[in-house]
Structure formats: C-alpha cells, structure tokens
C-alpha cells in the first residue's frame, strides 16, 4: 500500500511544481515586459527639429506706382522640399524677415498652418509680381486652407500684422534679389 500512496502523491507533487513553474514564468514575463516597456523602448514623443532663418536675399514691397514701402530679408523656398517645409517649426521670426516661395508655374495656390507656430500674413503674387491675395494674421497650427483668389506663382510669408503695419495691399508689387538666384 505504501507504493500506491507514493504513486498517488507523485501527480500532486507534479501539479504543485507545474503551478510554481507557471507562476515563476508569469512573473518573469511581467518583469521582462516592464523592463522593455519602461527602459528599452523610448515612449516619448519624437524630438522636433526647430529651424532658424537663413538669409537668401532681399525683397522690396512697392505700391502700384513703384514707390518703395518696406524692404525685408528673405529665405527662399524654391524646391519641393523647401516649399513643403516652409515656416513650419519656427519659434519666432523677426519683423524684417520673410519667406519667398517660388513655384514652377502660375496657378491657384493654397497654404495651411500645419506645424507653423507663429501667426503669419500670407501674400499670393502673380507672374507680374503683383500681390493678388492677402490673408492676414493666420491661425498658428491650423488646418484651415488659405487659398489665392487668382493664379499666383509666388507666395510671401511674413509675421502676422506686417501687412497692416506697413500698409501692404492687393495691387502692390514685390521685387527681390537673391544670393542664390
């Protein structure tokens, strides 16, 4: 009979050992998950790259008769990549600075403020260098569309309030000289 008890108690010992083994595996799995999740995987937001102004030229705003209103330094966006990036991720911009977008053809254009941290005045300019549309004090980080009312081949962006301060109006003209053109 002693042998029967040993045989019967063996499965109980195996069950207890299997249960302990399962608990140990579960604890190790939870510990591994905790370590991987908190120490090995970077759960933070990706680091944002902020950009600063690079002077590529000078742009002059003139009234319709040719009288100069104001001159600013410009950064030129003349490639697809530079046009898409625009003034995104800029923490600030000086009042005497702006960006000139140069497109390959004159057509209706539209801009938005995605990832643009500062309010802008956006001016659409036709191939005769005449300002055809102005959107003033745009909303930072907005998905709102700011379209041109007429075909444009150039767009000028300056800090919000610039057009009111310097009386820049539709019909005014721009001219520029670039260091890279």
Q: In this structure, what CATH number is given to the domain that contains residue 131?
A: 2.60.120.1140
Question: Whose CA is closest to 76, among 93, 59, 51, 95?
Answer: 59
Question: What are the pLDDT tens digits along the chain (181 aa)?
Answer: 555 555 555 567 777 777 888 788 878 877 777 777 666 665 566 677 888 899 999 999 999 999 999 999 999 999 999 999 999 999 999 999 999 999 999 999 999 999 999 999 999 999 999 999 999 999 999 999 999 999 999 999 999 999 999 999 999 999 999 875 4
Domain span including residue 157: 57-178
Residues 69 and 21 in one domain: no
Assigned domain for 97 exists: yes
Residues 38 and 109 in one domain: no
Q: Would you give the distance in Å from CA 83 to the centre of its chain?
A: 12
CA–CA separation, 50 vs 126, rounded Å?
31
Residues 83 and 13 in one domain: no
**Are 68 and 92 within 8 A, CB to CB?**
no
CA–CA separation, 124 vs 132, rounded Å?
6
Note the pLDDT of residue 6. 52
Question: Whose CA is closest to 87, among 101, 73, 104, 68?
Answer: 101
Within 10 A of 110 (CB to CB), how many other CB atoms are there?
Answer: 12
Note the pLDDT of residue 10. 59
Total residue count of the chain as it appears in this document: 181
Residues 63 and 121 in one domain: yes
Residues 126 and 163 in one domain: yes
Residues 12 and 63 in one domain: no
Note the pLDDT of residue 4. 53
Residues 4 and 89 in one domain: no
Residues 2 and 78 in one domain: no
CA–CA separation, 36 vs 172, rounded Å?
60
Within 10 A of 102 (CB to CB), how many other CB atoms are there?
Answer: 17
Within 10 A of 149 (CB to CB), how many other CB atoms are there?
Answer: 12
Residue with tokens 């001219």: 175
Note the pLDDT of residue 18. 77
User: What are the strands, taking DSSP E only, across the chain?
Assistant: 57-62, 68-77, 97-107, 110-111, 120-125, 131-135, 146-147, 152-159, 173-178
The pairing of beta strand 97-107 with beta strand 68-77: parallel
């Amino acid at each position: 009979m002693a042998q029967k008890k040993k045989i019967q108690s063996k499965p109980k010992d195996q069950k207890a050992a299997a249960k302990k083994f399962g608990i140990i595996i579960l604890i190790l799995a939870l510990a591994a998950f905790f370590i991987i999740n908190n120490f090995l995987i970077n759960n933070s937001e990706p680091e944002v790259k902020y950009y600063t102004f690079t002077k590529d030229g000078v742009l002059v705003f003139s009234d319709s008769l040719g009288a100069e209103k104001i001159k600013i330094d410009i950064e030129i966006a003349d490639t697809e990549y530079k046009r898409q990036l625009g003034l995104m991720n800029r923490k600030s911009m000086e009042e005497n600075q702006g960006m000139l977008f140069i497109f390959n053809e004159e057509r209706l254009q539209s801009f938005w403020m995605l990832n643009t941290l500062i309010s802008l005045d956006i001016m659409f300019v036709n191939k005769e260098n005449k300002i055809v549309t102005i959107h003033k004090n745009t909303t930072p980080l907005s998905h709102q569309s700011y379209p041109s009312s007429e075909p444009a081949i150039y767009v000028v962006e300056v800090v919000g309030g610039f057009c009111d301060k310097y009386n820049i109006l539709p019909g005014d003209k721009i001219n520029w000289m670039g260091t890279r053109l």
